[in-house]
Structure 1
Amino acid sequence: MYAERVLSGMRPTGRLHLGHYHGVLKNWVKLQEEYPCLFFVADWHALTTVYDSPEVIADSVWDMLVDWLAAGVDPEKATIFIQSKVPQHAELHLLLSMISPVGWLERVPTYKDQQEKLAHKDLATYGFLGYPLLMSADILLYRADKVPVGEDQVPHIEFTREIARRFNHLFGREPGFEDKAKDAVKKLGGKTGKLFEELRKRFQQEGDAAALEQARLILREAGSVGHVDLERLHGYLEGSGKMILVEPGALLTEAARMPGLDGQKMSKSYGNTIFLREDPDTVTKKIRTMQTDPARVRRTDPGDPDKCPVWQFHVIYSDDDTRSWVQKGCRSAGIGCIECKQPVIDGVLKEQVVMHERAQRYIEDPALMRRIVADGCERASVLAEETMRDVREAMGLSYR
């Protein structure tokens, strides 16, 4: 079976803000300590909605990469690359498009949702319809078994699993597959092989998920069976044939809902952001002028933290003692709004000091950032080409 591997990407559509940090980047920093990770700039994905303003992408790529490193993404621990610099993404996307039913793409939940949200743009393009398939190609190209997503993105992972399953079913049947798979079962040993066959039958005839997991465990522990036979056994177990593309799993992440300065979700389109590497004076000014509980007109009026956007920042940046001080002081009018905002200002500035320090070396030496990306693209290309060799061979395109 293939090794554990995490893949995630981000569109370059402007400067990153604290919402990106608390929603995505903090999680990446954690994951890079636990798994081999690949993080990529999804520049082709950005074109699906800003194809008429490509300069936005070009201007954003390098700033975004510096933001990643400022946030703590480590090129020594994770592979960092740009999607369009690894052309195998486009090749796999094209080949998968040959077998992907249009109805599957039209049923992706975000398709109509995004069309409604971006009604001012002409999104009647194949690029927009096919972006879930490009996303699938991104994942399947690296045989990534873990893709960090929020609940709303789970349908995209399921779509990718269906595409992988369909591809394996269509192209994973090598000549004499059944006989070769049965020979591979014998290599498990008499008792283990018999148990494997029983579990396979329970899964395929009764849909027994527990039997499937038990059989997978047998294969994970089958140290004496070679890689090719293991692939055959996985395909034989799941009814697909040789497993060429790996079905990914959704790695559900708890994305902190980073509020904007007005209490809505932080977003550039709302104009309520604090950028990841904003200068301290601007950060201080933005937080000091944040709106508060509208019912608290005078300093002597009691307030309700639950109705105040500043409280949402305290939830993220303040400790228990400070939050208790805010709750009591606001409700009793014991503290004013300026006093209440100061711990938030201190917390954000403290967080950003480290980011400014990490970013400085890349700002002073842009060539260093480009070397990191060149190295990451090279590493990603090696993995991508391994998959594409198998895909081309399975589809009869290797011409050896």
Structure 2
Amino acid sequence: MFANRVLSGMRPTGNLHLGHYHGVLKNWLTLQQQYECLFFVADWHALTTHYDSPEIIEQNAWNMIIDWLAAGVDPSKVTLFIQSKVPQHAELYLLLSMITPLGWLERVPTYKDQQEKLTDKDLGTYGFLGYPLLQSADILIYRANLVPVGEDQAPHLEFTREICRRFNHIFGKEPGFEEKAAQAIKKLGSKISKLYRELRARYQEHGDENALAEAKSLLGEQQNLNAGDRERLFGYLEGSSRLILPEPQTLLTQTAKMPGLDGQKMSKSYGNTIGLREEPDSVTRKIRTMPTDPARVRRSDPGNPQKCPVWQFHILYSSTEIRDWVQQGCTTAGIGCLECKQPIIDSVLAEQAPIRERARMYEEDPALMRNIVADGCENAYKLAEETMRDVREALGLNYL
């Protein structure tokens, strides 16, 4: 396994905007300088919520890859690929589903949350329920040990670690492991043995982390176990002596809070975005018509930047000097709202200019992009197949 391998992906569900750039892509540009990185188009994931409009996925996928390259993702340093072109993702997803407790999927925080938010879609499908497991397969198939996520996504990675432990526990055991573990349990005595089994069942079947912690504490208190038996019983709780799939670690990313045009988080669902490669005239128009502090009805009325969506853009884009100018000018009515917005317009257009310029090369010659992706898919396929050979062997599926 590569010592520091990073995996990350995006769903091709629409054009990327500045929120994606500041929230994800700028982190990718840093990570590609430090680690071996694999970035992928999660087109199967897009189908979990957009299965009724698959025609949008192909064009969105190619547009998104152009966005990545235009933003500065370097194909000489990064493997760029499309999820559905590496079928081992689906194979591992299927095999992991054989051992995944249903309750583990139902307790993923975003499962019910997304169902409540996306009320216009029928998400009562197996694919939507199972998408956290597909995410796990995406990570584990490359034995990626670092996964960049925000704090809100950390539960998904913890789910992956739980699946990893369960897989290693079931399929990575030493010869005679079950018998040796059973003999070790008998040494605990009938009362402690019964409690140990109950705690193990609560963790294995329901993912009860408190039960796991209690069982570990219980084992730590036992004086009649030798070191070998103690380690076996720890392994019997959550893993084994053979590590087939290594546990990935959370790489918490520092993401800039990219505001939308209305002050909310920038999101397609709110209709408040600025496209990553949006035309300058459109960008200028959107920013010039942004809502401002409602107290400034007239040009002569003083305002409060803290109550103005434009101020959030100044925090992200403007220098200290410009922010001081805005504070002074707004609170004294020394500047008007259009004057206040002009530095933002200049900064956003300056940020987008090189992105649009780099994109033009791939727009004019799509073969350049497709060749990059073809090479990336081939590399990803080889890495995934290395993992699947070990997985198939562990499951006894290498007999042909």
Give the TM-score category using the shorter length.
Answer: 0.7 to 0.9
- Deviation track 1:271-309 (CA, whole Å, cap 9, x = no partner) reads 111100011111111111111111111111111111111
Structure-2 residue corresponding to 1:86: 86
Structure 2 CA distance for partners of 1:70 and 1:206, relative to 1, 3 Å: farther
- Deviation track 1:81-139 (CA, whole Å, cap 9, x = no partner) reads 00000000000000000000000000000000000001121111000000000000000
**Which has the larger displacement, 116-125 or 88-97?**
116-125
- Deviation track 1:50-80 (CA, whole Å, cap 9, x = no partner) reads 0001112122010000001111111111110
Please give the alpha-carbon distance, in whole angstroms, between the structure 2 residues aligned to 1:22 and 1:145. Answer: 24
**Which has the larger displacement, 161-170 or 322-331?**
322-331
- Deviation track 1:327-354 (CA, whole Å, cap 9, x = no partner) reads 1111111111111001000100000011
Please give the alpha-carbon distance, in whole angstroms, between the structure 1 residues aligned to 2:268 and 2:162. Answer: 34
Shift in Å, 1:205:
4.5
Structure-1 residue corresponding to 2:324: 324
Q: Is the 8 A contact 1:46 1:57 kept in 2?
A: yes
Please give the alpha-carbon distance, in whole angstroms, between the structure 2 residues aligned to 1:153 and 1:105. Answer: 15
Gaps of 5+ in 2: 179-215, 222-234
Runs of 4+ in 1 over 4 A off after TM superposition: 202-205
Structure-2 residue corresponding to 1:371: 371
Structure-2 residue corresponding to 1:52: 52
Structure-2 residue corresponding to 1:335: 335
Structure-2 residue corresponding to 1:114: 114
Gaps of 5+ in 1: 179-201, 208-234
Q: Is the 8 A contact 1:177 1:241 kept in 2?
A: no
Please give the alpha-carbon distance, in whole angstroms, between the structure 2 residues aligned to 1:101 and 1:138. Answer: 19
Structure 2 CA distance for partners of 1:381 and 1:299, relative to 1, 3 Å: same
Please give the alpha-carbon distance, in whole angstroms, between the structure 2 residues aligned to 1:114 and 1:268. Answer: 15
Shift in Å, 1:239:
5.1
Q: Is the 8 A contact 2:170 2:239 kept in 1?
A: no
- Deviation track 1:235-290 (CA, whole Å, cap 9, x = no partner) reads 89x85221001111111112212111111111112111110001111111111111
Shift in Å, 1:177:
7.2
Q: Is the 8 A contact 2:168 2:239 kept in 1?
A: no
Q: In the alignment, does 2:162 pair up with 1:162?
A: yes
Q: In the alignment, does 2:314 pair up with 1:305?
A: no
Structure-1 residue corresponding to 2:356: 356
Structure-2 residue corresponding to 1:295: 295
Which residues in structure 2 correspond to 1:269-280 (within 5 Å)? Answer: 269-280=269-280
Give SS of 1:399's match: coil
Q: In the alignment, does 2:262 pair up with 1:262?
A: yes
Structure-2 residue corresponding to 1:386: 386
Which residues in structure 2 correspond to 1:86-105 (within 5 Å)? Answer: 86-105=86-105
Shift in Å, 1:27:
0.4
Aligned residue type for 1:240: S
Aligned residue type for 1:15: N
Aligned residue type for 2:77: K
Shift in Å, 1:176:
6.3
Shift in Å, 1:174:
3.9
Please give the alpha-carbon distance, in whole angstroms, between the structure 1 residues aligned to 2:278 and 2:246. Answer: 41
Please give the alpha-carbon distance, in whole angstroms, between the structure 1 residues aligned to 2:338 and 2:139. Answer: 47
Q: TM-score, normalised by structure 1?
A: 0.85
Aligned residue type for 1:282: S
Q: In the alignment, does 2:116 pair up with 1:140?
A: no
Give SS of 1:64's match: helix
Please give the alpha-carbon distance, in whole angstroms, between the structure 2 residues aligned to 1:36 and 1:84. Answer: 21
Shift in Å, 1:379:
0.6
Structure 2 CA distance for partners of 1:157 and 1:396, relative to 1, 3 Å: same
| RMSD, aligned α-carbons | 2.1
Give SS of 1:303's match: coil
Q: Is the 8 A contact 1:262 1:272 kept in 2?
A: yes
Please give the alpha-carbon distance, in whole angstroms, between the structure 2 residues aligned to 1:336 and 1:298. Answer: 9
Shift in Å, 1:173:
1.3
Please give the alpha-carbon distance, in whole angstroms, between the structure 1 residues aligned to 2:42 and 2:220. Answer: 41
Give SS of 1:335's match: coil
Please give the alpha-carbon distance, in whole angstroms, between the structure 2 residues aligned to 1:140 and 1:205. Answer: 30
Structure-1 residue corresponding to 2:39: 39
Please give the alpha-carbon distance, in whole angstroms, between the structure 2 residues aligned to 1:103 and 1:113. Answer: 16
Structure-1 residue corresponding to 2:189: none
Please give the alpha-carbon distance, in whole angstroms, between the structure 2 residues aligned to 1:125 and 1:20. Answer: 28
Give SS of 2:119's match: coil
